[in-house]
Chains A and B, each alone.
Chain A
């Protein structure tokens, strides 16, 4: 598979309110199976696992709808199919077992896995969480399915929660070790919230912030996928330092 075989597209632009958070995102990580699917079939099947936030656009779509819309615009003439199989409250270990069935049934090119929040809230051990992630990533790689991990949900109060931060760090470390793409939702939202406090972007109340957060998340994921599709086989990049706590 050569990168120039894939349709070409620039990374989709981020809305102004989401731009501050982009500095928390990692760089480009190749998504070879997604690139191959686009080149061979002009179609992309994305399996979404994890919590479902509800509406993030005024027209009523949720965040996976928005990802689909952005990808449709960013990658022309490609059929993007988003398959939602999120189960709320599910721990990573249970999601991993279920994900194997969903991969067998839906044959996705990419799994979008929002993971970690429930394990952190349920006090699952960091080692156990890491082992689950590594095993699942290995299984997905062996079955030629790319994965984008979506990090933990943000709430300022969780900055003081040692276990929540440990699970967050574990997710980042595993993603770096396994060279898979992780959209660090928590860190991005933290920066956006800081920007709102400083007046750089308009402030929002709690509900608007959640809605806006998932709206930004959709933009980050779509951007990460687009960059990953057109990334060549890059060496592993060092992680940027986490934002100050």
Chain B
């Protein structure tokens, strides 16, 4: 049986739907997503919650698991993510090719970094295989793969010297910012849109904060009320920045500039602080959302929303993969139907239905398997 809805699955489902919408540029409904009201966006939430889930995986879901088994499990997860990235990239390329043929429009072959795949396939296929060539909007999973390859190190360190896990991650993060280290793309010259060397800090923050009885996680839980009070003004400013275009001029900040500017590639400190503030404030919401089910009029829709988002969150890899392909399909549909509010609404509804069906299908398969112990809802939340 799938686990009961909990806050982590709920917010992960929220992040998945938000990423699906945000990855259809120009979609009418994209003006209502988190990125329009926050400096950070659903990508930060997705990676943070991946770190939170990593805690459950590394701790063996309540069972004692030898370190070697944890390492193998994490490497296995990285391999699974890599396979998923290769599969959805190939399907995306096929979708672009099919659309170009069916719509008799070769421009679609140049969309989203696909030009190099068709024009220069020999080196580009090597790039696709080693993740140095990424299609536009198919760049989160490569980040996730690299993070999962780093995860055994952090999980192992956490077992040996848990006090060092977060400091080492943050030292690496600051070093990367100070020297502007990043990963190159190839064969098309450039850099990764999501720099894994910086984004590992978000993953490790999720990983360490998920631990309730030790270190940063325990500290945050002890002082959560005070932290929320401190976080509220930061969240309010974070709302005003995109809403009223309060982005500070990045040329005015002192060096090293990456410490002070708001940048997604390096998930810079202002963005990270705003995100953590959002988490501190937002983490209070789920119990209240659940309480709304006690209001007779709201019971069905709120319960439905919680069940839907939690189901998506429980099956995040499948849903993320199908969501990425649906985003591309949505762009092609918008191109064909010229992006009206009606077609945008249809894209949104059909997309969410297919994502929900994917999650339901994955759980139906799991229900057919022999039962095995799963992390409890309490551990997840």
Contact = CB atoms under 8 A, between A and B. Distances in A.
Interface of A: 51-55, 60, 62, 64-65, 84-91, 94, 97-98, 100-101, 103-105, 117-119, 121-124, 143, 153-155, 157-158, 163, 206-207, 210-211
B110 A53 contact: yes
Given A91-B25, A104-B253, A54 B112 contact: no
Interface string B249-278: 111010001100111100000000000000
15 contacts: A54-B116, A54-B188, A62-B187, A62-B188, A84-B189, A84-B190, A86-B188, A88-B111, A101-B263, A104-B249, A105-B180, A121-B111, A124-B26, A163-B338, A210-B119
Contacts of B26: 91, 119, 122-124
A118 B115 CA distance: 14
B324 interface: no
Contacts of B61: none
Interface in B186-204: 187-191, 193
Contacts of A124: 25-26
Interface in B345-374: none
B106 interface: yes
B269 to A, nearest CB: 14
Contact of B106 (A51, A84, A122, A210): A210
Most B CB atoms within 10 A — which of A55, A64, A153? A55
Given A62-B189, A65-B189, A104-B261, A53 B115 contact: yes
Nearest to A210: B119
Contacts of B95: none
B250 A122 contact: no
A207 B258 CA distance: 39
Nearest to B190: A84
Contacts of A97: 247
Contacts of B136: 87-90
B120 interface: yes
A147 B217 CA distance: 48
B50 interface: no
Contacts of A104: 249-251, 253, 257, 261
Contact of B338 (A86, A123, A154, A207): A123
Given A51-B115, A52-B190, A88-B135, 15 more contacts: A51-B113, A62-B187, A62-B188, A84-B190, A88-B113, A89-B137, A91-B25, A94-B25, A103-B251, A104-B249, A104-B253, A104-B261, A122-B331, A157-B105, A210-B119
A183 to B, nearest CB: 17
Contacts of B156: none
B107 interface: yes
Given A55-B123, A157-B104, A122 B339 contact: yes
Contacts of A60: 120, 123, 187
B214 interface: no
B334 interface: yes
B335 interface: yes
A207 B123 CA distance: 16
B187 A55 contact: yes
Contact of A89 (B25, B118, B123, B124): B25
Nearest to B328: A89
Contacts of B191: 84-85
B74 interface: no
B328 to A, nearest CB: 10
B190 A210 contact: no
A51 B116 CA distance: 10
Given A105-B258, A158-B107, A163-B338, A55 B116 contact: yes
B109 interface: yes
Contacts of B116: 52-55
B40 to A, nearest CB: 14
Nearest to A145: B251
A153 B100 CA distance: 15
Contacts of B339: 122-123
A84 B26 CA distance: 25
A143 B251 CA distance: 8
